[in-house]
Amino acid sequence: MEPLERYRPIVDDFEAFLDACERPLGNAVRVNTIKASVDRATTVLEEEGVGYEGVDWNPRVLRLETDSPGSTWSSFHGFTHGQEEVSAVPATVLEPEPGERVWDCCAAPGGKATQLAALMDDRGTVVANDSNLGRISALRFNAERLGATSLAVTNDDARNYSLERFDFDEFDRALVDAPCSCEGTIRKNPDALDGWSEGYLDEVSGIQKGVLGRAVQATREGGTVVYSTCTFAPEENEAVVQHALDREDCRIVDFDLELEHSPGLTEWNDEEYDDHLEQTARIYPHQNDTGGFFVAKLEVTA
């Protein structure tokens, strides 16, 4: 837990934050509305004897009373998909519409990409890309199990992604759920902080800046880009968004989020950030009994 001490000045009720980080995370699933309505999925869970509880902020997310959410009948048949509750936030904030062209830049293993497809009623195109070839098989498996026929899977480096393979030259929306130091996953991955170093933050933030920059470039004027991580480090969050504001044609926009959260930072150590970064969201584990996350919403301006 020692690396988390650096966040004591920015986290309200820091002791509650640490206590939450030390507690195991419960299991949650997302109802896959491509295959089943929420009512149908919950009926199946009841028939199977699996207890569940809905969450207030998203009717498609359920907390399950089982240690094996991926072993249920509803999961096997694609009615539900095991997905951490807070992990469902970025696609919800992106608000894709049926018929649009959407790019999930770092998509494997496919939880958010298939969520995007479901939000679009599986109509349109979701380009689910990942640079890690070893994770593509999981992405394809989940797309098939969940019946997401609108997905096109690609294996490329998002930092220099080319649209020449498509018959269009820009996306309507893009999701950058970036590779990160994963500090916010400590409740389900107790070894998440092993090997943590500020040097790694510098390394991974360079990748994040490249991916977010390319996402903005590949999205049409007036389109939306959502940037998210499952970490607390400002170097990977506000600093990355600030880099995009400084170098790309985009602006931060506000969004509604019914989960309890804290505003983004406008300063960290000796760095100062745009005041609009307060419109981003920091979700800490103790606020909603979830993992940790950061979410920012951008509008492309040119």
Residue 23 has pLDDT above 90, yes or no: yes
Output the known binding site. Answer: 106-112, 130, 157, 177
What is the pLDDT confidence band of residue 95, given thresholds at 50, 70 and 90? very high
Cα Rg, the chain, nearest whole Å: 19
Averaged confidence pLDDT in the chain: 97
pLDDT of 1 > 80? The answer is: no
Who contacts 71 (Cβ-Cβ below 8 Å, separation ≥6)?
A: none
One of 3.20.20.70, 3.30.750.200, 3.30.70.1170, 3.40.50.2300 is the CATH number of 26-83, namely 3.30.70.1170
Just list the catalytic residues.
Answer: 230
Question: What percent of the chain shows pLDDT beyond 90?
Answer: 98
- Write out pLDDT tens, residues 174-231: 999 999 999 999 999 999 999 899 899 999 999 999 999 999 999 999 999 999 999 9
State mean pLDDT over 255-264: 97
To the question of pTM greater than 0.85 for the whole model, the response is: yes
Q: Give me the residue spans of the domains in the chain.
A: 2-25+85-300, 26-83
Interval 29-50: pLDDT, tens? 999 999 999 999 999 999 999 9
70-84 pLDDT, tens digit per residue, is 999 999 999 999 999
Please compute the mean of the pLDDT values over residues 94-100 and round it to a whole number: 98
What's the mean pLDDT in 115-124? 98
Q: Is 232 exposed, middle or buried (0-12, 13-18, 19+ CB in 10 A)?
A: buried
* pLDDT tens sequence across 8-18: 999 999 999 99
Contact 103, 172 (CB under 8 A): no
Superfamily of domain 2-25+85-300: Vaccinia Virus protein VP39 (3.40.50.150)
Percentage of residues of the chain with pLDDT beyond 70: 100
Binding residues for S-adenosyl-L-methionine: 106-112, 130, 157, 177
Is residue 156 pLDDT above 90, yes or no? Answer: yes
